[in-house]
Each structure stands twice: as C-alpha cells, then as structure tokens.
Amino acid sequence: MNKKLAALICILTILLSAMLVSCKNKDKISLNNKEKLENLQFKNEKDGYVDIELYFDASKDGKKEKTALEERLIDKQELLGEIIIQELIKGPSVKSELKPILPKETRLLSFSINDGIASINLSKEAKVQMTPVKEKACLESISSSLGVLKDINKIQILVENKGIDTLGGNYDISTPFSKDEIDTRKIKH
C-alpha cells in the first residue's frame, strides 16, 4: 500500500512539474512576442511612419516593360493593427486547443486608427448569430489583441462599410467600445 501511495505521489509530482514548466514556457513566448512587437523596426521608419517603396507598371507603348517607383508613408500602428486583425481572422494555430473568434470566410476590408479609435471594417461573413459567451470572447479577443498598440483606446466594428448594432446578437457595439466596457454593452433579451 505504501509503495502504491509513494508511486502515486511521484507521478503527481512529475505531472505538476511538467504543467508548471509548460505554463512558464507559454509566458516566455508571450513575453518574447510582446518584446518583438515593441522592438519592431523598419528600414525606413521615422516618427511612427514607415516609408515603403512600391513599383508599378510604367510602360508607355506596351512594347517594352518599364517599372517606376512610388513612395508611400504608412502609419506603423495601422500596419500592425491590420496584421493583428488578419491573424485573428486566420484563427489559432493547428496545434493549439483554442477556438477561432470569427468565421474563417471573414475578410478584413479596411483598418484605420483615428483619434484613438480603431475602425475595423469586416466582410458580411463576420456577422453571424453567436451565443453570449462566444460573442463576448470575440469582442474581448479583438479589443485585447489591439490593446497592445499604444494609439488604440477603443474599437469600432463595421460590416461592409456600415456601422452595426451587434456582431452576434448579444452585445451593443453601435458605438466605439473598450475592453472594460464590453460587459455594460450586453443586450437584455
């Protein structure tokens, strides 16, 4: 009996140790990703803007190809915000046990930041009936993920360039909201 108890205690100790190590590794990964985001530097970056060089067709007669340079200044925060939303739409990694927050058919039509408000314009596939738990997870996921960007205080979700009252039928998102306001937006049925 004592040998069985000792073996059980050893097994539990090993399992708990493994769980603690895996949690610690996950936290390290999160910290590393956050550090990478904060330290992300572009070659031609200045004052929060990235100078990108785009080359377009400059052929005149259709007989000889020619390209020409067009420079554009892109807001770094908007660029990162757009990438964050694209990654949320893409969904969690295959190995993860996490669930996607939006239908996989959803497309990001546009993304911008004005006066601290991130405007996320999604395709109509994003607007589906959701349980209250699923919709809250979706809204929290979007606001928490974009919350790492210093220029964003609130979120405004549009569908097909139009303001919407709700994304999944349970929360009023007709006006911009922050993560802390989500609970106060619950629609009473």
Report the percent of the chain where pLDDT is more than 70.
Answer: 78
| pLDDT, tens only, 52-101 | 899 999 888 878 888 999 999 999 999 999 999 999 999 999 888 899 99
Whole-model pTM above 0.75? Answer: no
C-alpha distances (whole Å) from 172 to each of 168, 182, 185 are 9, 9, 5
Q: Which residues pair with 122 in a beta bridge?
A: 108, 159
**Is residue 149 included in any domain, yes or no?**
yes
Q: Are 151 and 145 in contact (CB under 8 A)?
A: no
Average pLDDT of the chain to the nearest whole number: 86
**Is residue 4 included in any domain, yes or no?**
no
Q: How many separate domains does the chain show?
A: 1
**Is residue 27 included in any domain, yes or no?**
no
Q: What is the pLDDT of residue 31?
A: 55
Strands 154-159 and 117-122: parallel
Give me the DSSP letters along 65-130.
--EEEEEEEEEHHHHHHHHHHHHHHH-S-TTS----SS-TT--EEEEEEETTEEEEEE-GGG----
**Is residue 21 included in any domain, yes or no?**
no
How close are the terminal C-alpha atoms of the chain, in Å? 57
Q: Are 118 and 43 in contact (CB under 8 A)?
A: no
Confidence of residue 15 (pLDDT cuts 50, 70, 90): low
Q: Which residues pair with 65 in a beta bridge?
A: none
Q: What is the pLDDT of residue 25?
A: 47
**Is residue 31 included in any domain, yes or no?**
no
**Is residue 120 included in any domain, yes or no?**
yes
Q: What is the pLDDT of residue 46?
A: 80
CA distance 15 to 68: 61
Confidence of residue 27 (pLDDT cuts 50, 70, 90): very low
CA distance 107 to 159: 10
Quote the domain boundaries for residue 80.
76-185
| pLDDT, tens only, 171-187 | 999 999 999 999 999 99
Confidence of residue 17 (pLDDT cuts 50, 70, 90): low
For residue 7, pLDDT over 80 is answered with no
**Is residue 16 included in any domain, yes or no?**
no
Q: What is the pLDDT of residue 167?
A: 96
Q: What is the pLDDT of residue 26?
A: 46
Q: What is the pLDDT of residue 2?
A: 63
Q: Are 129 and 166 in contact (CB under 8 A)?
A: no
**Is residue 104 included in any domain, yes or no?**
yes
